[in-house]
Amino acid sequence: MRRHSKRRDGGLRMAECRSLANLGATSLLIAHQPTLRHALSALAEFRSRINSTLVLHFEEHEGDVILREDFQLRRPEPSRQSNDLALGVLARLCSSVLGDLWAPSMVCFTHEAPPAAELPIFSRVFHCRPQFGSEFNGIVLPLADLDRPNLKADDQLARHARQLLEAVMSPVDRTVAQDVSQLIQLLMPSGRASIQGCAAALGMTVRTLQRALDAEGTSFSTLLNSVRMNLAVQYLANPRMRITDVAELLGYSSIGAFTRWHGATFGRSPRKARSAELSV
């Protein structure tokens, strides 16, 4: 696996493939909230069941609101691509709730401006001008947008979704395997989804993490392969993504290595898998 991604827009390319449905059961509750403010509150309420390493903030300031998602890892693991992914997914959530009414003022990044060739994806994902070298990572939008009505909201469906979530998501202890799977998906765009990287993020030694996974009847390689399998199916179903891009996003430095893994895992090449999916 690569130590670093050659491309710097991997996080945004992942976000571009996500939809509200990727939030699982919570998506129904969020989709049918009456306003964006209510949708964000619902997201924050159930965030621990979606991704316990992310915390959502929205700060009102002089007619604007800043939407931010901050990582709360046991040890700092700064990653430009992981931050881009989090903001991109947040933008797509807002867009899915407000539709054509979604009109942010700008999106801010602490990292430097990318090469000109990578700028179009910022417009596609955020639908506003990006500002680089900022003091924070976040999306800025007019305060009034928080309370714009969601034209697709359905009160009864929202109540039904909440009842389902409260029944299914009763308080339970998270497993180490669940935390590691989340971290693998978070760190994979930057090429750092290794057992060393995950152990550091969880504040453990590699040996301690291995023992914890052994006790739960699994291993890091099993979890890594499971995440890769799920993402490979998702990415190959998107005809806009080149197979070389999919290989990079899954941590492979060459399309040959990715093709061999895909063949051994799924019994056919990624190209044949894509053709079969698109012909359905």
Q: Is the pLDDT of residue 32 over 70?
A: yes
Query: SS3 sequence, the chain?
Result: CCCCCCCCCHHHHHHHCCCHHHHCCHHHHHHCCCEHHHHHHHHHHCHHHHCCCEEEEEEEECCEEEEEEEECCCCCCCCHHHHHHHHHHHHHHHHHHHHHHCCCCEEECCCCCCCHHHCHHHHHHHCCEEECCCCCCEEEEEHHHHHCECCCCCHHHHHHHHHHHHHHCCCCCCCHHHHHHHHHHHHHHHCCCCHHHHHHHCCCCHHHHHHHHHHCCCCHHHHHHHHHHHHHHHHHCCCCCCHHHHHHHCCCCCHHHHHHHHHHHHCCCHHHHHHHHHCC
Q: Which two tokens stand for residue 102?
A: 């979604």
| pLDDT at residue 280 greater than cutoff 60 | no
* pLDDT given at position 31: 87
Q: Is residue 142 a contact partner of residue 63, using CB atoms and an 8 Å limit?
A: yes
pLDDT digits (tens, 9 = 90+) for 58-117: 888 889 999 987 765 555 455 677 888 889 989 998 998 998 889 999 999 988 898 898
Mean pLDDT of the 120-127 span: 93
% of the chain with per-residue pLDDT over 90: 35
Rounded to a whole number of angstroms, the CA Rg of the chain reads 19
Cα–Cα distance between 125 and 206 in angstroms, integer? Answer: 36
More confident residue, 202 or 140: 140
Going by pLDDT thresholds of 50, 70 and 90, the confidence category of residue 5 is: very low
